[in-house]
Amino acid sequence: MTAEAAAVAVVEDFLAALGRGDRDAAARHLADGAVMIFPGGRRYTTLDALAAASAVRYRHVDKHREEYEALTDGTGDVIVWSMGTLFGENNAGVRYDGVRYVDRFRLRDGLIVEQRVWNDLAQSGVLTARAETEIEPQWRPRTPD
């Protein structure tokens, strides 16, 4: 397995663990001193701090992880990009889906040292909606055909 493929596997496992609320499993992939930087410049150095801050924004969030790209930079760190969409439920109980995200990870010695997050949550309005009808159709939950 290449270093890039191994790094993608680490990121996938980290994001899957976060999505199911398993902070202990996710934390195994973080290096000491890791930093997670979210929209608005919000910085977290622990998953507990991230979870506490997220609780005021939504009840649940997870990712449809649709695409990965990985490369090794000039320092030997592996950079992994994860792209897809967010889904979940806001604090008013309104479900949402299809909100774009991009995460950029830096891994060193097989551990995440940095995560940078970009998404359209603020632009979508899903976090402040009080009813599904307040959400544009592209961000409403997917319905089976």
What is the pLDDT at residue 142? 76
**Contact, 104 vs 134, CB < 8 A?**
no
Distance CA 138, CA 124 (A): 9
Distance CA 116, CA 38 (A): 6
What is the pLDDT at residue 144? 66
Tell me the percentage of the chain whose pLDDT exceeds 90.
91
Distance CA 112, CA 123 (A): 28
Residue 22 makes CB contacts below 8 A (sequence gap 6+) with none
- What tokens appear for 136 in the block? 């544009």
Predicted confidence (pLDDT) per residue in 38-86, tens digit:
999 999 999 999 999 999 999 999 999 999 999 999 999 999 999 999 9
Predicted confidence (pLDDT) per residue in 85-106, tens digit:
999 999 999 999 999 999 999 9
Residue 42, amino acid: R
Predicted confidence (pLDDT) at residue 143 exceeds the cutoff of 90? no
For the full predicted model, state whether its pTM sits above 0.85: yes
- Give residue limits of the domains in the chain: 3-139
Q: What is the CATH number of domain 3-139?
A: 3.10.450.50
